[in-house]
Amino acid sequence: MLEIHDIKKVFQRGTSSEQQALAGLSLCLQPGEFVTVIGSNGAGKSTLFGAIAGSFFVDRGSIRLDGEDITYQKEYLRAKHIGRLFQDPNTGTAPGLTIEENLALVYSKATRRFSLSLALRPADRRYFKELLARLDMGLENRLKAKVGLLSGGQRQALTLLLSTMVPPKLLLLDEHTAALDPLTAAKVMELTEEIAGQNKITTLMITHNVASALKMGTRTIMMDKGQIVMELEGEERKTMTSQDLLQRYRQIMHKELDNDRMLFSGEEE
């Protein structure tokens, strides 16, 4: 479904600030697979997502999505098939528009008809309310509320809904709960797993929470210096604890994981 072969990316080549962000990375995801991605700061996780989404072109290698070579396809074309959420809850929605208008903009892509609030039918609004009710945040009763007035958790949950309303071929989640309080983050994580599972959306999720990385999805990969240095799945992953994973990292890399935030959030719940 997603096939990444030997991709390499160097930023600021030929300068004193040259940085090899991706170093011959290869990765394959099957349809509907949910893979969590962990690694220290600067490991190349967000750079990998940028390469997949088309934020920049790789220097070498290839990226195929559902059999199509998208290696040098422009970002706006990839966005038709790739959903992406970021850390900041303020991205992904139009704050000056209402919840209803945000939903209508996405809905119009699926129905191929113009459907801002003035053109919405009663059936459309009922559908929107049904979708929002699944979030269990009371947003189904606030269709006319400006999105900019919502809490961070509400906005991120709405962004998740908008990104999957027309199920994408691939969903990229770049620490999408990092800016939320623990209770809200847990709720959004639960919604993430539910929505991805129900719609069989192939998903890649970056997280600093080692426990969540091992618990969610079907496979976990760890990155370091632009490469995948560890891959866990099946029974091995199911029985591994956060401390087991950190010990495995020490054995493979011969160093400690340089990320205090990950070590803290990796404590077993």
Model confidence pLDDT, tens digit, residues 147-187: 999 999 999 999 999 999 989 999 999 999 998 988 888 99
Q: Check pLDDT > 50 for residue 264.
A: no
Mean pLDDT across the stretch 40-46? Answer: 92
Residue 107 domain-assigned (yes or no): no
Q: Check pLDDT > 60 for residue 110.
A: yes
Residue 69 domain-assigned (yes or no): yes
Give the total number of structural domains in the chain. Answer: 1
Query: Is residue 191 a contact partner of residue 203, using CB atoms and an 8 Å limit?
Result: no
Query: For residue 119, what pLDDT is reported?
Result: 65
Q: 3-state SS string over 208-258?
A: CCHHHHHHCCCEEEEEECCEEEEEEEHHHHHHCCHHHHHHHHHHHHCCCCC
d(CA 207, CA 45) in angstroms, rounded, equals: 10
Domain that holds residue 206: 2-81+168-265
Residue 162 domain-assigned (yes or no): no
DSSP letters for 172-187: EEESTTTTS-HHHHHH
Question: 138: which DSSP letter?
Answer: S
Query: Is residue 202 a contact partner of residue 112, using CB atoms and an 8 Å limit?
Result: no
Which of 45-59, 76-90, 102-116 has the largest mean confidence?
A: 45-59
Residue 113 domain-assigned (yes or no): no
Q: What are 3-13's pLDDT values in tens digits?
A: 999 999 999 99
Q: Where are the beta strands (DSSP E) in the chain?
A: 2-11, 19-29, 34-39, 60-65, 68-69, 82-85, 170-174, 202-206, 219-224, 227-233
pTM for the whole thing? 0.91
Query: For residue 263, what pLDDT is reported?
Result: 46
Look at the block and give the residue holding tokens 């991805």.
196
Query: For residue 59, what pLDDT is reported?
Result: 98
Residue 249 domain-assigned (yes or no): yes
Mean pLDDT across the stretch 199-218? Answer: 94
User: Measuring CA to CA, how many Å separate 58 from each of 28, 71, 132, 174, 228?
Assistant: 17, 7, 38, 19, 17
Q: What is the CATH number of the domain that holds 27?
A: 3.40.50.300
Residue 104 domain-assigned (yes or no): no
Residue 149 domain-assigned (yes or no): no
Q: Check pLDDT > 70 for residue 267.
A: no
Mean pLDDT across the stretch 18-35? Answer: 97
Question: 54: which DSSP letter?
Answer: T
Mean pLDDT across the stretch 248-261? Answer: 76
Write out the two tokens for 163: 């990104």
Residue 57 domain-assigned (yes or no): yes
